[in-house]
Structure 1
Amino acid sequence: MSMQRTQHDDVILMTKEGYQKLRAELIKLRSDGRSEISKQLEEARSFGDLSENAEYHAAKEAQAKLEARIQFLESQLSKAKIIDNDQIDTSQVTLGTKVTLKDLDLNKEFTYVIVNSEETDPNNHRISVSSPVGQAIIGKAVGDEVIARAPRGIRRLKILRIEI
């Protein structure tokens, strides 16, 4: 029983788009990224003494960062469970829902898709469930008013619509 709970705790809920984006990044890093680092290392080695070779050390550092990102992406994708749109309950704000909010102070409407932190893309209206706004609205229903302590100050928001 505790084994099942541990496995469930390791699950990372993800939208289909988010999963595909991370998978594409992983494929690109494994091929193009590793190839580029290999070229940089080869070129740096040609400069001679590796102990005092700044280009070599910079390339090794870039390689370490690349491999760490690859490992992170592999781990995220191996734990991913894609959210099935047919299973999303639109009676409340949950991961994967599209939420239209009204900022009561600015009298403006905003629409966001609620995603996990790895899928966040504010420029494309995808905000993290862990963000101040995400935390304020998760589990709320249409008509609810919430207060979010965002980086630009306190925002009073009203939930207008919840969709898939």
Structure 2
Amino acid sequence: MTQADERDGVWLTQSKFDELTAELEELRGPGRTAVVEKVSQARDEGDLKENGGYHAAREELGKLDGRIAQLVEMLKNARVGEKPADDGVVEPGMLVTIRFVGDSDTEEFLLGAREMAGEGVQVYSPQSPMGEAINGHKKGETVTYTAPNGKELQIEIVEAVPYDG
């Protein structure tokens, strides 16, 4: 796997990979079949322009197909069970603690996919502005990045440890 592939892949535990694979199988099989049946039944009710049930079923099918596509892509690029090294270097799969320069409060989050996070764990994507800025940096380093609002922010990496979620 190249360094670019490692950054682009989503880190998943084996149990989370298995859980998402089962969800995908359910959505592709019985889940999708049930929604397609709803669409078909609603279509049989007549005039499609004023058929709210049909439009709702089509919207549900679109959301389901979107989730299927998301899961396929995520699982295809997953780095399964490859727990990051406990070396203080920020990378996907790490629980990161940062402090905005000039502020005494810290913020903790998982750098990775939201599907990995346990209850109450905040997640930042490695592709987010902050995620891209801190990825590859070490505990104790200060990093500057441009926030989505255009403001330049400086953050200190206080801690980076593998997420055990």
What is the TM-score of this pair, normalised by structure 2?
Answer: 0.70
When residues 146 and 21 of structure 1 are mapped into structure 2, their CA distance, relative to the original with a 3 A threshold, is: farther
Q: Which amino acid aligns with 2:11?
A: M
When residues 154 and 25 of structure 1 are mapped into structure 2, their CA distance, relative to the original with a 3 A threshold, is: farther
Deviation per CA, 1:34-74, whole angstroms, max 9, x where unpaired?
Answer: 25423422431341355875643553454244234313422
Deviation per CA, 1:77-133, whole angstroms, max 9, x where unpaired?
Answer: 133221422x52524111211111112233211112211587689x62221111121
Asked if 1 retains the 8 angstrom alpha-carbon contact of 2:10 and 2:74, the reply is no
Distance, in Å, in 1 between the alignment partners of 2:18 and 2:98 is 27
What does residue 64 of structure 2 align with?
66
Q: Which amino acid aligns with 1:145?
A: T
When residues 154 and 108 of structure 1 are mapped into structure 2, their CA distance, relative to the original with a 3 A threshold, is: farther
Q: CA RMSD in A?
A: 3.5
Asked if 1 retains the 8 angstrom alpha-carbon contact of 2:114 and 2:123, the reply is no
Counterparts of residues 85-164 of structure 1 (less than 5 Å): 85=83, 87-116=84-113, 124-151=121-148, 153-164=151-162
When residues 71 and 113 of structure 1 are mapped into structure 2, their CA distance, relative to the original with a 3 A threshold, is: closer
Unaligned residue ranges in structure 1 (runs of 5+): none
Q: Which amino acid aligns with 1:95?
A: P
When residues 42 and 13 of structure 1 are mapped into structure 2, their CA distance, relative to the original with a 3 A threshold, is: closer
Which structure carries more helix by proportion?
A: 1
Residue correspondences, number: 156
Question: Percent same amino acid at aligned positions?
Answer: 29
Range that drifts further, 152-161 or 11-20 = 11-20
Unaligned residue ranges in structure 2 (runs of 5+): none
After TM superposition, give the deviation of residue 160 of structure 1 in Å. 1.4
Q: Which amino acid aligns with 1:133?
A: M
Asked if 2 retains the 8 angstrom alpha-carbon contact of 1:91 and 1:142, the reply is yes
What does residue 74 of structure 2 align with?
76
